[in-house]
Amino acid sequence: MPIFLSRLLAQLTRPRGWATPVAVIVFVFATSWPLMALAEPDSEIAAPANYWWYFVVTAATVGYGDFFPVTGAGHAVGVYVIVGGIATLTTVFTRLATIMERAKGRRMQGAISVTASGHVVLIGYTAGRTERIVAELLAESDARIVLCGWSDVTTHPMPDQGIEFVRGDLTDADTLRRAGVPGAATVLVDARDDNEALAVTVTVIHLHAGAHVVVTLRDMARAELMRQVHQDVHCVQWHTSWMVTEELTSPGIAEVYTHLMTPGGTNTYSIRLPESLGPVQVGRCQSVLGQRHGVILLAARTEHELLVNPGWETELPAGAEVYYLSPHRLTPEALTAALGG
């Protein structure tokens, strides 16, 4: 008998879908009701309005006590209901645990399909680097992020970051569809080399040409080739991961930075305020220098601190270093003439 019971329990707890627990509970209910009516002929427990309630609380081992059998035979039927309820709950919990374990396994193995819109898709994974990019993105906003890696990334590399993971051939449209590229607002192509970046970008543009697509390149001379794929593809130097995050969160900012770092035209400069001027308000610098020389003051360094984007009421001491944006470099004489009048 013990061997029989152990085998029966093993059969019941084996995950076979929802049919097993449903069949068990229906069978126990259908057989226990007439048995209870026979065991308790004078009790209200077997009345149609009452028995279903007694059955539920007894099978769930809650037992409110508002209905209960009083005869020995009724007690035996009650035990039968309890055992049937335990068997049913065991199979239900086993099934739920199996479903959750499979879902977790699919999530960890990147076998899921993402259905979303307006999210960020990161295509390509490099240990350490991708973690930094994700951390910076999450610090900037609470955008939904999907990481899409090659098949050699066998398990989710960042399961605790709250991002989703898809793996497969990154040049395959089906893999990128599972990552939700057709509905993404922003897509980063962070490939292992520039040739791979080009192949992945072609697939991305084919699926969703309207996305803000950012591509990291080792050789920025390839940027023109990328623009032939689509004119709105934004290319960023691979080695500047902070620039990648800037471009993802502020579309087009990488082009602005590139322009500012290119000789000729508007650029960033610095100059020290002459001692002869004395203290000068930031607002005066902004207005006077802006009108006369097209200057935008970015920051100032005093003896004690660096002030980035200081308020207009801030007073800069004589000798402070001023950092500014301008079409040309100011001379000390031009600065004195503008602010000394």
**Whole-Å CA distances, 133 to 66, 126, 278:** 61, 10, 44
**Strand stretches in 168-233, DSSP E:** 186-189, 212-217
Q: What is the structure's pLDDT at 281? A: 92
CB-based contact 124:179 (threshold 8 Å): no
pTM of the model: 0.64
Of 152, 140, 208, 137, nearest to 179 by C-alpha is 208
**Quick check: helix, strand or coil at residue 75?**
helix
Looking at the DSSP bridge assignments, the partners of residue 212 are: 186
pLDDT score of 270: 93
Domain at 120-260, CATH class:
alpha beta
- Is 63 within 8 Å of 82 (Cβ atoms)? no
167's CB contacts (< 8 A; 6+ apart) are 109, 110, 111, 148, 149, 150, 151, 153, 154, 175
Using alpha carbons only, what angle is made at residue 109 by residues 107 and 110, rounded to the nearest 5 degrees? 65
**pLDDT above 70: percentage of residues in the chain:** 91
CA distance 138 to 191: 21
**What residue segments make up the domains of the chain, in order of their start?**
2-108, 120-260, 267-339
CATH class of 267-339: alpha beta
User: Which pLDDT score is estimated for 7?
Assistant: 53
pLDDT value at residue 103: 62
Q: pLDDT under 50 in the chain at which residues?
A: 1-6, 8-9, 12-13, 15
- How confident is the model over 75-133, as pLDDT tens digits? 888 888 888 778 777 777 777 776 666 666 667 777 788 888 899 999 999 999 999 99
Task: Answer whether CATH 3.40.50.280 is correct for domain 2-108.
Answer: no
Spatial distance between the Cα atoms of 245 and 315, rounded to a whole number of angstroms: 33
Tell me, what's the pLDDT at 1? 36
pLDDT, position 16: 54
